[in-house]
Structure 1
Amino acid sequence: MTWEVPPADVLLGRWVGRTVTTVTGAPNRILKLDGDNVVVATRKSPAGEGVALADVQGALDELERTGTVTVDRSILGYRSAFCGAVIRTLAGTRRVPGSPPRLQRREVWEPSVAEDGDRSLNAWWEHIPAERYWMEITDREDIGTDLHSPQRDATGKPNPGYSALLYLQDGDIVFHYDRNEQAIIAWSRAVGPPGAAPTFWASHRGATRRRLGTQPREQPGWWLDLEGPFLLTPPVTLAALRATGNEILAILDDLAGAHGSIYAPFYGYGTNRELRPTQYYLNKVPAALVALLTDQPLPPARPTPIGEQWRQPIANNHATGQRQVQVDIETVERGLRGHIDTETALATALRAHGLEPLSPGPTDPNFDIAWRTADTLYVAEIKSLTAANEERQLRLGLGQVLRYRTQLEANTELPVRALLIPERAPTDPTWTQVCAAVGVDLVPGTALLERPGRIGEIPST
């Protein structure tokens, strides 16, 4: 990850309506951009006072040029504390111990996770597209600016609360639980891959603090940029969470029974099982828990793109001969002539209507063909039929396309519509009713070959 410092107006524009914190912990709320100034509310000036953008830009330029900025009036001017607060919003900056305070950038690079990162967690969520939620539990002053943690705990061993950071994917949603407020106060989106760089860190455990001291110490760390934070109004307090504590714990217990270690953000304390946040820094929030954490509308985790450019199917030389070895049934199916003709006719019909046919991407379910309109994602399973295999093929195809629909619904904001397309009409006409009963359109491939425009007859609602 390369170091980039945005212009002052761009950086400050991202923080309008939000609070940045000085190196001494004083809150500065950015109210608005006003010409060549930014209006900032402080404890002394709650109505807001203008700070020249040029002053902030000068501090950013100094950081980019030398890598270090001294937060002092003699260098940065009267609003040096605010300039320092703005610099602290940049991922990959740290405070250097000493007086006057100095802020220093560190180069953040993409780590070699296979070599350097602990990937031994029970990643029960990895193949479930809806499981894209996490929770930071911290008392940081700049909560929501980024995620960062040591690579190992105070004993030198991997820690699930730190190693979990390596499992986040671009677009995942991170809730922020503030220990000081005892509430979930905001959420953010993960941006890009994790990076490795030193971090200043102090343990939250009392025994560790007594042994090592309360002052943060520099150590190897993991970093991840965030888009946000986006405030929850009102915050979701621990008291409110405890009101549904039994339901929350029931969900966590069920998942733990099914998967083992799930790295949940809450646990039940004592015989009464009082809901409490864990001591771990970063935790996995099960998707089933999100509705109980907040009733405020949240966008889904940023969906990964579905599908890629359609690939013309190619005849399989082994498709018509006797199978001598075990082969992938779906690969053979795609090699049958009826399948190829039907899929090609569908792709032609789509393009005739200005729609782009799609083949599965690396992370998609193994559908035959898909396409999207402005308001719907369509997924189709194509089946060649013979008199001997018709019933089996239709049952298989219906099960496949239902499964694909469910998987795709978890990774797109569009409604997903499923189609079963046999190469000809089934001899048993009740198959149309069977498919309709589960919300699947049955469209014979012969209709596409005779009238490629038939795809346009499928209503969009």
Structure 2
Amino acid sequence: MVAFVLQPANLSKKSVARHYQDTIVNSVVFDDHRSVLEADQLARLEKYFPDGRAQMWGAVPGKPRSNGSLVNKTQYDKLHEGDGVAFYGGKKLYHAGRIAVLFRNPELATRLWGTDENGQTWELMYALTDLHEIDVPMDTIRPILGWSAGSFVQGFSVVEGEVALELETACGQARADSVPSSQTHPPALPVQLAALTADAVHAAIAEFDAVGREQFLSHHKYGKARDYFIALNGQLYDSKAIVGVAYGKLPGRKPLRPSEFSCGNQTVARRLEALGFHVVHSEDSGVPVQTDPHEYWWSGDDTENVWVEIRTVDGIGLSLQCPDHRQNGHRDPWFDLVSAVRKGDIVYHYSTRERRFVGQSVAAEDATHDRAEGAYSVSLTGFSVFDEQIDLAVMRSRADALFAERDRLAALYAGHNLYLPFQFREQRSEFRMLSNYFAKLPRSIINILFDGQSSGAPAPTPLSPPTGFLQPFKPKADTEYISTMAGGSSTRTRAHETLVNNFAEWLAEHDLVPMRNAAVDLGTEDPPTVIEAKCVNGAFADAIRAAVGQLYEYCYFQVADRDSGLIFLADEPIPEQWCRYLEDDREIGVIWPQDGDFHLSPLAEEYLGVTD
């Protein structure tokens, strides 16, 4: 059954505002908390949020009832991934979103938010997607809930069924700018879907049957459905067209135009299922899913072959990888962009850790779709590092030109989603990259970013040639760094960068020149080595497998010199049996901190030409 969360979070309270800033505005970086995330939880989070971070919130289990159950746990157990959430404070609902991943983790909750006065923590957790600003006063909400005047949200509350659908509609109508989010979903329906009846839908289906599909769609100016269909009596009906026409069957209503609402699992399909109709996705119905060759504004223009990967996790320049669907099992248009990549296309790489463009690669093949794994992937080659520093500050300094170019493209390709990688905020100082994984990068935008001026019509842009595998080492923020966002700042720990920076200093002290690039943590050119650093946290097998795989990939995909000596840098001593495996079987040296210095295995000493 459809459910909806009313989550009290009054930002006038300092503790609530601080928690909201830390895990909603700034979001939670998975790498910072791997030691307390269960393997299954981490896998689900990383599958849904491939950029390695998500906005999170939670609820305490609550007081025990007379039957032994816990108040909030009982409510929480009604939820499913895909259900809606709205945050309440100041006598209104002010933010709304959707649950992407549900999980219970008291250790992570304590680390993020501490405990309340009763010693409980907010362990009933959920990761959010499509979080956006709304402004829905309680006067609007009370009639939907059947509450009396003066009532307000007093605790973690979950409503179900028709009431949940009406709340979703109310929040969708009030949609404003998005809070930075890891995924993008279609907006909720901007009409009162709750008013739609089964009789009206049947009337629309009867009209469809009477005139046939082609005439029905042509008369009402709808295109053929690609994703969602009503399955009835052995036939399939285009769900969006049926709903739009059915709305006009209601007393005093006119049919909806296609531009007046969006179709998706959380809007049209959800309402149809609530009315008792069976809705199927095209991949389940036998209807072939095809990409309209005119779907994208750049279709047919071979010069518009540039994309941008917005990445948090390691592996820049090796491959593109993302799921082919959302957590709810259905397609995401931003993920689908990866499937459109073709051999020879150019991929720019933006590092969210460094908040800058770090380099570019070339697609080594057409995108592949592994239906069994539910993933798109593209192998990359020819990674090269950018000499020019194009970071967030530079982009904001060129925001006026970027806004103007966006408006030009929107007018030129009216009716098309541009799929640009930016959040265009009214305040130029808040201009930033999207947190989506993948986006389109028009040639005209490249000209603005890398030349500082608009080029007018899109034209091919000369690309920086490779400048060597590694670049001079520049330390990143280590033990603590400040992430500044609207409304405040958050202090974070980067043990990984502390380890890398410390060993870079060790290399310099031993007359070796530390180097790195956007993919490789650390290395040297003379002698040639590649060093992969990992924070082990006691999980030796996982860390070693990851390091071995990445070291081999760096050489195979020519991100580093293929003749390099390979070294695993750990943050704690590695057991002898693992050292033997790495040295004798994999020919990988091992290094870890020891007594204020570093311990080097025999092979690591040989590769670096030093004596421990």
TM-score (normalizing by structure 1): 0.34
TM-score (normalizing by structure 2): 0.26
Look at both structures and tell me which one has the larger radius of gyration over its CA atoms.
1
